[in-house]
């Protein structure tokens, strides 16, 4: 059966839903297609089921891209305050957790329900369980499924990235880009736990479940901005059976490249070994453990000291130990991959798109929004804000 629309949006996640709402509100006939049986799956599992739907401190600096300026226009046009206004319009209660992160008081279903209601009001037709097998373009775009054919003057690709394949993630969006000659920045897992090599695993795997507040950074060239500064994140670090996780590690993983070390400050803003340098203090392993217990969990402090105690308890040895506390370097073997990654870094090259409309510069009427684009936010609601903002901009231009 043949169907004709003004706009067809592929992917009924955060970006696709927002784009559909805005295009529908402007009087466009919109069809929102998704291959999954249920739309908005990643919305529902986000934030532990409470949906960390934005961050009130959202700035361009919270995003990683080959072109760090690309996201500025969209983020300025649709801000966290704009999405909060929509949330409050639907009387959804929410709270700020830490570092500007906003969560639903109840469940993520509130956010998905809000978006579905807005789609209904805008006249959007949502078609789940609709898998597109082919896209061609002549005067219009033609999309074919097993039983149907859809035609539209504009197609918006909001298919997401490769993260969490068990939720239905595929490479379809990248395949569409390549089909139309649009460049792709190499994709990789981001906001993902890092895994130990066998040597470090043998040292620390027994600490699984232990956490501490740290400052994490990475020293590789890949991580550095044009100003030569590598990002740092002060949050919790968690030991796992395979390696390291927790917010600080997830954050730095987006900047990490295989072969690079990560640097971890185990006692931010504290001089841990100062008591040992006092003339009347003891200077031995027992005293060092007592000092380190003040800032780290006991098991972690003792295990770490086993591998970093100085050869001699001189002033120099203690000063070197202090430096090690603040600059513990460890080289991960890898990441836990797309299965455990919250998002995908890389994607459709932003040089191929208009930063104001998200439309392809090469193919009029073809748009890319959300995670499929080479814009990756930090942990804490930033990737949702990019989805809302990029979806809004595309929807406003259709």
Tokens 């950074």 belong to residue: 217
Angle 225-227-231 from CA coordinates, rounded to 5°: 45
pLDDT tens digit string along 38-57?
Answer: 999 999 999 999 999 999 99
Q: 317 and 356 in one domain?
A: no
Position 281 scores a pLDDT of 72
Position 312 scores a pLDDT of 92
Calpha distance 227→273 (Å, rounded): 33
Contact between 168 and 174 under an 8 Å Cβ cutoff? The reply is no
Calpha distance 335→338 (Å, rounded): 9
Calpha distance 126→290 (Å, rounded): 61
Q: Where are the beta strands (DSSP E) in 208-364?
A: 211-218, 232-239, 243-245, 262-265, 328-330, 334-335, 343-348
Angle 83-89-93 from CA coordinates, rounded to 5°: 80
Question: How would residue 219 be classed by pLDDT, with cut points 50, 70 and 90?
Answer: confident
Question: How would residue 277 be classed by pLDDT, with cut points 50, 70 and 90?
Answer: confident
Position 226 scores a pLDDT of 46
Q: 356 and 316 in one domain?
A: no
Contact between 74 and 390 under an 8 Å Cβ cutoff? The reply is yes
Calpha distance 398→155 (Å, rounded): 10
Q: 35 and 184 in one domain?
A: yes
Give the CATH number, domain containing residue 62. 3.50.50.60
**Of 220-234, 259-273, 287-301, 384-398, minimum mean pLDDT range:** 220-234
What tokens does 51 get? 């949906």
Calpha distance 157→147 (Å, rounded): 21
SS3 243: strand
Query: If we measure between CA atoms, which residue out of 199, 177, 191, 203 comes closest to residue 254?
Result: 191
- Residue 138 CB-density burial (10 A; 0-12 exposed, 13-18 middle, 19+ buried): exposed
Residues 6+ apart with CB under 8 A from 227: none
Calpha distance 314→97 (Å, rounded): 45
Total domain count, the chain: 2
SS3 118: helix
Start-to-end C-alpha separation, the chain: 25
Give the CATH number, domain containing residue 214. 2.40.30.10
What is the percentage of the chain residues whose pLDDT exceeds 70? 97
Picking from 309, 335, 361, the residue at the C-terminal end of a domain is 335
pLDDT tens digit string along 69-88?
Answer: 999 999 999 999 999 999 99
pLDDT tens digit string along 361-390?
Answer: 999 999 999 999 999 999 999 999 999 999
Query: If we measure between CA atoms, which residue out of 59, 73, 65, 75 comes closest to residue 372?
Result: 65
Contact between 341 and 164 under an 8 Å Cβ cutoff? The reply is yes
Q: 236 and 94 in one domain?
A: no
The pLDDT of 219-236, averaged and rounded, is: 69
Longest dimension (CA), the chain: 88
Is residue 104 over pLDDT 80? yes
Position 222 scores a pLDDT of 52
DSSP per-residue string spanning 283-314: -SHHHHHHHHHTTS-HHHHHHHHHHH--SS-S
pTM: 0.95
What tokens does 58 get? 């959202």
Picking from 335, 354, 371, the residue at the C-terminal end of a domain is 335
Q: 139 and 163 in one domain?
A: yes
Q: 177 and 38 in one domain?
A: yes
Position 170 scores a pLDDT of 95
The pLDDT of 166-185, averaged and rounded, is: 96
The torsion of the CA quartet 362, 367, 370, 373, rounded to 10 degrees, works out to -10
Calpha distance 332→191 (Å, rounded): 15
Q: 183 and 203 in one domain?
A: no
Q: 309 and 207 in one domain?
A: yes
Position 229 scores a pLDDT of 65
What tokens does 178 get? 């390549």
The pLDDT of 317-341, averaged and rounded, is: 96
Mean pLDDT of the chain: 95
Calpha distance 300→89 (Å, rounded): 47
Q: 162 and 60 in one domain?
A: yes
Picking from 317, 335, 353, the residue at the C-terminal end of a domain is 335
Query: If we measure between CA atoms, which residue out of 127, 142, 134 comes closest to residue 30?
Result: 127
Helix or strand run (H / E) with residue 64: strand 63-64
pLDDT tens digit string along 279-318?
Answer: 667 889 999 999 999 999 999 999 999 999 999 999 999 9
Q: Which residues pair with 143 in a beta bridge?
A: 135, 150
Domain extent at residue 354: 2-188+344-397
Q: 303 and 220 in one domain?
A: yes
Q: 157 and 67 in one domain?
A: yes
Position 282 scores a pLDDT of 81
Question: How would residue 225 be classed by pLDDT, with cut points 50, 70 and 90?
Answer: very low
Position 307 scores a pLDDT of 93
Position 244 scores a pLDDT of 98
Q: 98 and 79 in one domain?
A: yes
């Amino acid at each position: 059966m043949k169907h004709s629309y003004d706009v067809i949006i592929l992917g009924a996640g955060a970006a696709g839903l927002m784009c559909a709402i805005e295009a529908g509100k402007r009087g466009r006939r919109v069809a929102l297609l998704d291959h999954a049986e249920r739309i908005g799956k990643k919305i529902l599992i986000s934030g532990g089921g409470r949906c960390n739907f934005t961050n009130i401190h959202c700035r361009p600096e919270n995003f990683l891209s080959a072109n760090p300026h690309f996201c500025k226009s969209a983020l300025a046009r649709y801000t966290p305050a704009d999405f909060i206004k929509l949330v409050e319009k639907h009387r959804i209660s929410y709270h700020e957790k830490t570092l500007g992160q906003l969560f639903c008081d109840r469940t993520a279903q509130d956010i998905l329900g809000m978006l579905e209601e807005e789609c209904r009001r805008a006249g959007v037709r949502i078609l789940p369980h609709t898998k597109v097998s082919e896209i061609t373009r002549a005067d219009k775009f033609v999309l074919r499924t097993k039983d149907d054919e859809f035609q539209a003057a504009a197609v918006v690709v909001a298919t997401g990235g490769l993260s969490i394949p068990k939720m239905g993630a595929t490479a379809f969006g990248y395949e569409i880009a390549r089909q139309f000659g649009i460049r792709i920045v190499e994709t990789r897992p981001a906001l993902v736990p890092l895994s130990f090599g066998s040597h470090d695993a043998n040292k620390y795997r027994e600490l699984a479940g232990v956490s501490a507040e740290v400052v994490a950074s990475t020293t590789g060239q890949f991580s550095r901005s044009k100003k030569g500064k590598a990002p740092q994140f002060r949050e919790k670090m968690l030991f796992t059976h395979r390696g390291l996780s927790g917010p600080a590690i997830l954050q730095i993983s987006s900047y990490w490249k295989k072969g690079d070390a990560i640097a971890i400050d185990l006692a931010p803003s504290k001089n841990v070994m100062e008591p040992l340098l006092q003339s009347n203090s003891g200077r031995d392993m027992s005293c060092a453990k007592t000092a380190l217990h003040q800032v780290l969990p006991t098991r972690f402090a003792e295990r770490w000291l086993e591998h970093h105690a100085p050869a001699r308890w001189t002033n120099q040895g203690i000063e070197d130990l202090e430096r090690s506390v603040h600059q513990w370097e460890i080289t991960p073997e890898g990441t836990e991959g797309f299965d455990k990654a919250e998002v995908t870094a890389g994607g459709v090259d932003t040089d191929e798109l208009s930063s104001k409309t998200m439309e392809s510069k090469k193919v009029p009427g073809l748009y890319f929004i959300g995670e499929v684009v080479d814009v990756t936010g930090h942990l804490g609601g930033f990737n949702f804000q990019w989805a809302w903002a990029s979806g809004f901009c595309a929807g406003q231009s259709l």
